[in-house]
């Protein structure tokens, strides 16, 4: 029983020592804040479906399709070409995307682009130009594989990514 009293007494002594030490530091200021961030831009899409049909080695071609984009609030958006497996099948694969008055060309080497969009309904024109490699090695089939995506980006992401100086709008994207 005496050991429990000694342990409790030692604990209380330690706590009071910490309280005295905390008061001896002399805090000059305290900081409090609540950060309110604007919500990310709201948007929705109706995707385009692009079917290149049967391909043979060395074949070149073009395909067009239309998607729709509905933007509820202004913001920066990253458009990205997902070319996983395409590198093994195509020697050239270029997607030309027109959103409003901005035109973006993405390919196997330049696969991302950041644009600024204002609220509105956009008809998105997509044209794909391709050349199949002489000896393609990729998967023999692709069915409804995501090809081009768009998503809102934060300030820091768009600053680092920038744009690729394509298109016909002087105010598009961010400059590096």
Nearest to 152 by CA among 83, 71, 84, 49: 71
Q: Cα-flanking dihedrals φ and ψ of residue 99, to 5°?
A: -120, 110
pLDDT truncated to tens, each residue of the chain (176 aa)?
677 666 666 666 665 665 555 566 777 788 878 888 777 778 999 999 999 999 999 999 999 999 999 999 899 999 999 988 899 999 999 999 999 999 999 999 999 999 999 999 999 999 999 999 999 998 889 999 999 999 998 755 544 444 443 433 333 443 33
State the DSSP H helix or E strand holding residue 130, giving kind and residue range, or none if neither: strand 120-132
State the DSSP H helix or E strand holding residue 23, giving kind and residue range, or none if neither: helix 2-24
pLDDT of residue 170: 38
Strand segments (E) across 39-89: 43-46, 60-71, 75-81
Quote the tokens at residue 6: 């000694």
Residue 54: partners with Cβ closer than 8 Å, 6 or more residues away: none
pLDDT of residue 107: 97
Could you tell me the domains of the chain?
Answer: 43-161 (2.60.40)
pLDDT of residue 38: 72
- The pTM for the full model equals 0.68
């Amino acid at each position: 029983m005496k050991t429990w009293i000694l342990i409790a007494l030692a604990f209380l002594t330690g706590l009071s020592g910490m309280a005295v030490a905390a008061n001896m530091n002399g805090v000059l200021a305290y900081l409090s804040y609540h950060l309110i961030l604007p919500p990310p831009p709201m948007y929705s899409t109706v995707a385009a479906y692009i079917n290149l049909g049967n391909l043979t080695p060395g074949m070149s071609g073009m395909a067009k399709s239309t998607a729709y984009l509905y933007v509820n609030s202004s913001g920066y958006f990253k458009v990205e070409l997902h070319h996983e497996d395409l590198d093994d099948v195509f020697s050239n694969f270029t997607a030309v995307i027109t959103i409003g008055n901005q035109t973006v060309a993405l390919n196997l080497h330049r696969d991302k682009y950041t644009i600024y969009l204002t609220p509105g309904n956009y008809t998105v024109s997509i044209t794909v130009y391709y050349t199949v490699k002489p000896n393609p090695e990729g998967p023999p089939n692709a069915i409804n594989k995501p090809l081009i995506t768009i998503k809102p980006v934060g300030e820091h992401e768009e600053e680092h990514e920038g744009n690729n100086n394509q298109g016909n709008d002087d105010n598009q994207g961010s400059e590096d």
